[in-house]
């Protein structure tokens, strides 16, 4: 990354990175074809015919990435070195404006019995409405000059942000991960984190008192204490002026971590592409995120995933009509409907530019990308490739 920083130069060319979340799949046993292979995708196929393709490993072969590392890798950041904690990710997911010194933790409302032992780690999955009310009871507490900001997420899940000085997130979790035992006290993992542990334990005790009469949500469990990672911005590394177009908050949040500007957009793929068109002259790098494919994969809904890929294909014409210098289309990981979750399978990628070397592949699919000219490569190399094809990198060495 220091290396790319040395050779990157600003230029007026434009790059569009479209991430079809969870794009890669596994074959339907009845047809032998994956979701992408089943979908009718004339526009993707045309783009790959004029471009080049391959397969990416978001982290490395065999490793199933979460959304955080999956996207960091696409942006060219080492996803193992720059770890995003669960608390931070949860905060990004509700568009919470995390400050650099904030410590965020993921919270569950849970149920404890009279002896204080956990009987349900999710408090019977209370409604999001109930969760919102309970969060209001806890929000705004001040403990040892640390302000507690408690926000609902969904059902029993919430985020607590500790805002104050000298807070180090190196602390253990209170969630015992099983029922029948008491929540664990939070302990400092380094001497410097003792203040954080102390404040967190005080918060848990206050929450227990406040929630006493709110069975089944009469206690909280906290985990994933973390701070925003300190990432160099994409402007510093690549000298780009980057923007994100994503209807889901978490992806906007991830993009903000690397310094992208957030463009307001509607929820459909067409909305996102309209936003691209409206802002096309103001930026030179766009990260466009499509969520539906991943959700369908997670639900095990093969046919819905196929349909969303076809929607993306249909909407693609308005992207192509803008004539970006470089178009990259890929996913942050695979989400095969058969596995109902993220997986380790490499993800198809296509790259189109005037300067890419065509490889004769005529179809955008897992099988066809095996023979692509880009080969199989780590996702962190996408950005250097896209930058090169946009003529935004100078020669290394004489």
Query: What is the binding site for a second copy (CB under 8 A)?
Result: 3, 7, 26-27, 32, 34, 55, 59-70, 79-80, 83-84, 86, 89-90, 224, 338-339, 341-345, 355, 357-360, 366-367, 370-377, 381, 383-389, 393-398
At its nearest, how many Å lie between a second copy and the CB of residue 361? 9
Identify the CA nearest to 221 among candidates 120, 94, 83, 90. Answer: 120
Pair 245, 270: CB distance under 8 Å: no
Number of other residues whose CB lies within 10 A of the CB of residue 257: 22
**Nearer Cβ to a second copy (56/316):** 56
Q: At its nearest, how many Å lie between a second copy and the CB of residue 68?
A: 5
Residue 61: how many CB atoms within 10 A of its CB?
10
CB of 64 or CB of 235, closer to a second copy: 64
Q: How far is the CB of 360 from a second copy (least distance, A)?
A: 6
In angstroms, the CA 91 to CA 68 distance is 12
Instruction: Return the number of the residue (89 or 220) whose C-beta is nearest a second copy.
Output: 89
- Cis peptide, bond prior to residue 216, ω within 30 of zero: yes
Nearer to a second copy, 57 or 130 (CB): 57
Q: Are 10 and 391 in contact (CB under 8 A)?
A: no
Supply the minimum distance, in Å, between the C-beta of residue 119 and a second copy: 26
Shortest reach from residue 113's CB to a second copy, in Å? 30
- Of how many residues is the chain composed? 398
CB 395, min distance to a second copy, A: 5
Q: Which residue, 60 or 127, has its beta carbon nearer to a second copy?
A: 60
Question: Whole-angstrom Cα distance, residue 136 to residue 129?
Answer: 11
**CA 27/CA 117 separation, integer angstroms:** 45
- CA 331/CA 19 separation, integer angstroms: 5
Residue 377 burial by CB count (10 A; 0-12/13-18/19+): exposed, middle or buried? middle
**Other residues' Cβ atoms within 10 Å of the Cβ of residue 282:** 10
Question: Between 42-49 and 302-320, two packed helices, what is the crossing angle to 10 degrees?
Answer: 60
Q: Long-range pairs for 355-358 at CB < 8 Å and ≥24 separation?
A: 355/388, 355/389, 355/391, 356/51, 356/52, 356/389, 357/52, 358/49, 358/50, 358/51, 358/52
Residue (209 or 396) nearer to a second copy, CB: 396
Least Cβ distance, residue 25 to a second copy (angstroms): 8
Question: What minimum distance in Å lies between the beta carbon of 63 and a second copy?
Answer: 6
As a whole number of Å, the CA-based R_g of the chain is: 23
Comparison of 34 and 265: residue with beta carbon closer to a second copy: 34
CA angle (59 as vertex; 57, 61 as ends), nearest 5: 55
Q: With contact defined as beta carbons under 8 Å apart, do 304 and 291 qualify? A: no
The residue written with tokens 């930058």 in the block is 387
For the CB of residue 101, give the shortest distance to a second copy in the complex, in Å.
Answer: 22
Angle between helices 128-138 and 194-211 (to 10 degrees): 120
Which is closer to a second copy, CB of 70 or CB of 297?
Answer: 70
Distance CA(85)–CA(168), nearest Å, equals 13
Q: Which CB atom, from 72 or from 269, has the smaller least distance to a second copy?
A: 72
Residue 129 beta carbon to a second copy: minimum distance, rounded to whole angstroms:
25
């Amino acid at each position: 990354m220091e290396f790319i920083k040395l050779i990157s130069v600003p230029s007026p060319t434009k790059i569009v990175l479209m991430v079809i979340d969870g794009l890669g799949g596994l074959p339907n046993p009845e047809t032998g074809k994956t979701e992408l292979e089943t979908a009718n995708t004339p526009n993707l196929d045309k783009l790959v015919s004029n471009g080049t393709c391959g397969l990416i490993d978001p982290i490395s072969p065999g490793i199933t990435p979460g959304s955080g590392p999956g996207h960091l890798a696409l942006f060219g950041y080492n996803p193992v070195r720059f770890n995003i904690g669960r608390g931070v990710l949860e905060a990004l997911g509700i568009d919470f404006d995390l400050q650099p010194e904030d410590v965020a933790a993921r919270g569950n409302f849970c149920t404890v019995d009279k002896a204080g032992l956990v009987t349900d780690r999710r408090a019977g999955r209370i409604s999001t409405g109930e969760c919102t009310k309970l969060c209001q009871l806890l929000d705004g507490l001040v403990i040892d000059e640390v302000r507690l900001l408690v926000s609902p997420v969904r059902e029993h899940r919430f985020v607590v942000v500790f805002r104050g000085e000298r807070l180090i997130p190196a602390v253990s979790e209170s969630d015992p991960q099983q029922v029948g035992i008491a929540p664990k006290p939070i302990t400092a993992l380094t001497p410097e984190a003792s203040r954080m542990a102390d404040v967190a334990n005080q918060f848990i005790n206050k929450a227990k008192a406040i929630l006493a009469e709110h069975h089944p949500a009469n206690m909280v469990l906290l985990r994933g204490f973390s701070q925003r990672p300190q990432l160099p911005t994409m402007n510093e590394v690549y000298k780009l002026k980057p923007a994100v177009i994503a209807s889901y908050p978490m992806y906007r949040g991830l993009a903000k971590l690397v310094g992208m500007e957030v463009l307001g957009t509607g929820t459909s793929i067409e909305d996102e592409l309209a936003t691209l068109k409206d802002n096309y002259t103001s930026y030179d790098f766009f990260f466009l995120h499509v969520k539906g494919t991943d959700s369908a994969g997670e639900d095990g809904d093969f046919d819905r995933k196929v349909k969303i890929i076809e929607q993306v294909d249909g909407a693609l014409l308005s992207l192509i009509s803008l004539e970006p210098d470089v178009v990259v289309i890929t996913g942050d990981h695979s989400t095969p409907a058969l596995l109902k979750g993220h997986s380790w399978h490499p993800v198809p990628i296509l790259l189109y530019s005037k300067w890419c070397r065509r490889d004769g592949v005529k179809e955008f699919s897992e099988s066809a990308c095996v023979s692509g000219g880009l080969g199989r490569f780590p996702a962190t190399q996408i950005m250097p490739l896209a930058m090169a094809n946009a003529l935004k990198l100078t020669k290394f060495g004489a």
